[in-house]
Amino acid sequence: MQTHNLGYPRIGSQRELKKAEELFWAGKISEQDLEDVSLQIKISNWETQKHAGIDWIPVNDFSLYDQVLDLSVLVGAVPERFKKLAAQKSSNELYFAMARGYQKEGFDLKPLEMTKWFDTNYHYLVPEFTKSQTFSLSGDKPFREFEEAQKLGIQAKPVLLGPISYLLLGKEKEEGFSSIDLLDKLLPTYTAILKKLQDLGATWIQIDEPCLALDLTAEVKVKYQEVYQRLHTAFPELKIILANYFDCYGDNLDIALSLPVDALHLDLVRCPSQLDDILAHPALAHQALSLGLVDGRNIWKNNYENSLTYIRKAIEKLGKEKVWLAPSCSLLHTPYDLDLEIQLDPELKDWLSFGKQKLDELQELKEIAILPDAEHSLEYLKQNEQSIAKKALSKKVHNKEVKNALISLKASDFKRKAEFTSRQKIQKEKLQLPLFPTTTIGSFPQTKEVRLLRSKLKKGELSQEQYDAEIEKATTEVIHWQEEIGLDVLVHGEFERNDMVEYFGELLDGFAFTQHGWVQSYGSRCVKPPIIFGDVSRPVDMTVKWSVFAQKIAKRQVKGMLTGPVTILQWSFVRDDQPRSTTAFQIALAIREEVLALEKAGIQIIQIDEPAIREGLPLRKKDWDNYLTWAIEAFRLSSSGVEDQTQVHTHMCYSEFNDIISHIANMDADVITIETSRSEMELLGAFKDFRYPNEIGPGVYDIHSPRVPKKEEIIDLIQKAMTYLPEDNIWINPDCGLKTRQWEETKAALINMVEAAKVLRSQVLDTA
Ligand SMILES: CN1c2c(nc(N)[nH]c2=O)NC[C@@H]1CNc1ccc(C(=O)N[C@@H](CCC(=O)N[C@@H](CCC(=O)N[C@@H](CCC(=O)O)C(=O)O)C(=O)O)C(=O)O)cc1
Ligand SMILES: N[C@@H](CCS)C(=O)O
Ligand SMILES: [Zn+2]
């Protein structure tokens, strides 16, 4: 029996990579310094895994920015616009230019698009393909890392994203072909990579094909057979472990089992039922099974008794040699090390397991499975049973009042008092906003200075009063500045928030938060997801103080700003002892209370952000309806308590809306602000076709880039939006919050946005 790992977090246990990268980008350290930090992280990761006793340790799971971008660079899929830069710069500079864009020395290069990695909060860089796309081996990253690991005596298993998933995750940049048509062109380069790894001494290679968890066309299914047959023919000696995760193989199982690979990985956390299906499958013959037992997407201790049931079943059918033990997916999505959490409640800590502890769990499971009667095995089992039992019975988890509140919900709790058309009249009368009201999405730049204040507060170097005074100052400045430039609906800037989810997690009961539980979101950006361990309730006001403060000093309306229940759920580590929907409703009730508290305090416009509604969609379409029903109900529960005159906004980003537009409409927010600028407003087609009734703020510029949009561009975009939507329903705003931007470009962009609104208003008046 072997243990192996599918991938390890790579930001460093103290976010060393993030810090080094940001210094490198600022020109403060050299490329060599960055390489040194990277190597230290890799070595530390390998040693940790070796020390835990993992038999096969992944290499090439490290990345300076993103593993999909790594493969694009390795196979030479560099978009044409970067070619001139490529000729002048180092490979790292080109790599980061593709990741982040390049706007200097006469270049104005847009980065690759970034999108969600399946249903996670990790974002990858979307490969770009053209009809005449060519590929060629253009780097040495996996080879270098394999050699580095070998030198340290690590039994290394290179990890590569599979050729089919790679192509399917990319985007065609011109019409008339499909990315999967490029397989024949890609395979020679892909085989060159395998050849080189084999020549260096690799025996096992992990090829990730997470697209096997999606609904696939018959054409793609056939490609799987062709490709893996070709790879097997080319490398009969090389052993391939094919990894799928995040959902079942489902109806791709027959294909997966027919492939000439040496081992198949199953995510038993997301799909426990597939083990029986596989063990009973007539095609199961030559393959070993890698059991994805330990949850790579969550932080709870593994339940050994459950895992051992799976292990025993697999051994019975296949024999010990053909059973591998693994995490369900890469540990990239978990924090590094629970031992760093010295402030966590010890009772809660006993229920948890982070990346490093998950490695120990694998090793302990292996020992229990091999030597079930050994003293240490019995001890491991006993300890584990005790932790699991304590959690199930803990008073900290269960709150009767919350459970009762959920049971007592009525249909009317999910519905605004009046229909939208009546509300709209009342709100237009009350708010007296101009045509094309301008607003922003909530956050203003979270500068180093603001973050430093919080850091000092946490370290006790600043008192709460001193901190509050500084946040007051920043909020006051931003309110006055918004009024000065003429924005219509103001925001308080969110300076008091570390993150739009963690902030609420720190204030709600049933949540815990960590000191070092960082998880990579994209590139150097990380999040610290809170841990939902118990029934959720709201012991204190969470946002009222800062909204009321801002409203008091403002001459115009200030939007209250909340994160919605589905997004809080999606971006937290969630309970595994009750359905996600139950937790979502509990959070929704807490947010509903906050909404009512804001209303009572005189806030007339309240935004409830739900950027993660779409990413929460299950990977298989058959599961969509169930999810969308409870997710939209959770939003409605959070937003429906208010009077008709109170205007509820929601905000979404990173979303394609076509296939879920009826559900978006069903949220019944008075105003929805959405990311549309990158699609040049084309996303609005769905709203037009559906005759979406409520008001919409289509984003007029991309906030991911420092580029300042020109007034004329914004006018053009809104004129385009007017071909989709009634002008009375249009708001003007950026795509998303401005927290990652600098002040300089923020100011310039918003001034242009307000000027554009003025021009548009006068154009409409002229034609009236
Ligand atoms: C909108 N997005 C979000 C997602 N998920 C979330 N949970 N939150 C989101 O906002 N998913 C989708 C997108 C992803 N986008 C982003 C955008 C930006 C970040 C980001 O900037 N992350 C920060 C960390 C934010 C934070 O928690 N800050 C804390 C602590 C800051 C810190 O490191 N302090 C230093 C001292 C200060 C200093 O010297 O700078 C320290 O303690 O050592 C805070 O503000 O208090 C990042 O830096 O990565 C993430 C996802
Ligand atoms: N209100 C949040 C939404 C981000 S999706 C912000 O402005 O940052
Ligand atoms: Zn957003």
Active site residues: 704
Burial 425-456 (b: 16+ CB within 10 A, else e): eebeeebebeebbbbbbbbbbbeeebeebbee
Give the residue, out of 19, 499, 524, 569, with the most ligand 1 atoms within 8 A of its beta carbon, to mutate for a pocket test.
499
C-alpha 342/C-alpha 624 separation (Å) is 40
Q: Give the per-residue pLDDT at 283.
A: 80
Q: Which two tokens stand for residue 488?
A: 């219509």
What is the DSSP secondary-structure string of 406-431?
HHT--GGGGS-SS-HHHHHHHHHHHH
Strands 559-563 and 605-609, bridge-based pairing: parallel
The β-bridge partners of 157 are 58
Q: Give the per-residue pLDDT at 309.
A: 98
Q: Is the CB of 561 under 6 A from ligand 2?
A: yes
Spatial contact of 761 and 436, defined as CB atoms under 8 Å apart: yes
Torsion of CA 182, 187, 189, 195, to 10 degrees: 170
Q: Which residues of 614-736 form beta strands (DSSP E)?
A: 647-652, 671-674, 695-698
Q: Is the CB of 674 under 6 A from ligand 2?
A: no
C-alpha 740/C-alpha 361 separation (Å) is 37
Q: Spell out the domains of the chain, with CATH numbers in brackets.
A: 2-393 (3.20.20.210), 433-507+538-767 (3.20.20.210)
C-alpha 635/C-alpha 48 separation (Å) is 42
Spatial contact of 212 and 164, defined as CB atoms under 8 Å apart: no
What is the DSSP secondary-structure string of 292-331?
EEE-SS--BPP-HHHHHHHHHHHHHHH-GGGEEEEESS-G
Which atom of ligand 1 is found nearest the CA of 448? 40
Q: Is the CB of 442 under 6 A from ligand 2?
A: yes
The one-character DSSP state at 90 is: -
Provide the terminal-to-terminal Cα distance of the chain, rounded to the nearest Å: 78
Residue 207, SS3? strand
For residue 405, what are the contacts with CB-CB under 8 A and spacing of at least 6? 589
C-alpha 388/C-alpha 684 separation (Å) is 49
C-alpha 541/C-alpha 595 separation (Å) is 10
Ligand nearest, relative to CA of residue 19? 1
Closest CA to 594 of 646, 633, 651, 540: 540
Spatial contact of 730 and 434, defined as CB atoms under 8 Å apart: no
C-alpha 595/C-alpha 535 separation (Å) is 19
The number of beta carbons lying within 10 Å of the beta carbon of residue 195 is: 14
Q: Is the ipTM of this complex over 0.90?
A: yes
The protein residue whose alpha carbon is closest to atom 44 in ligand 1 is 498
Q: For residue range 405-419, list pLDDT tens digits in order.
A: 999 999 999 999 999
C-alpha 646/C-alpha 599 separation (Å) is 7
Which atom of ligand 1 is found nearest the CA of 458? 42
Spatial contact of 638 and 592, defined as CB atoms under 8 Å apart: yes
Ligand nearest, relative to CA of residue 570? 1
Closest CA to 117 of 10, 15, 242, 210: 210
Q: Give the per-residue pLDDT at 282.
A: 82
C-alpha 538/C-alpha 587 separation (Å) is 9
Q: Which two tokens stand for residue 473?
A: 């100052």
C-alpha 349/C-alpha 341 separation (Å) is 8
Sign for the pseudo-dihedral over CA of 728, 729, 734, 735: negative
Q: What is the CA radius of gyration of the chain?
A: 26
C-alpha 407/C-alpha 434 separation (Å) is 43
C-alpha 611 to ligand 3 mean position (Å): 6
Ligand nearest, relative to CA of residue 17? 1
Question: What pTM was estimated for this model as a whole?
Answer: 0.96
C-alpha 404/C-alpha 402 separation (Å) is 5
**Regions in the chain scoring below 50 on pLDDT:** none
Q: Give the per-residue pLDDT at 106.
A: 93
Spatial contact of 290 and 265, defined as CB atoms under 8 Å apart: yes
The β-bridge partners of 267 are 292
Residues touching ligand 1 (Cβ under 6 Å) are 121, 446, 448, 451-452, 454-455, 498-502, 521, 525-528, 571, 611, 740
Q: What are phi and psi of 324, to 5 degrees?
A: -115, 145
Query: Does the annotation flag 211 for ligand binding?
Result: no
Query: Can you give 217-238 as a three-state secondary structure string?
Result: CHHHHHHHHHHHHHHHHHCCCC
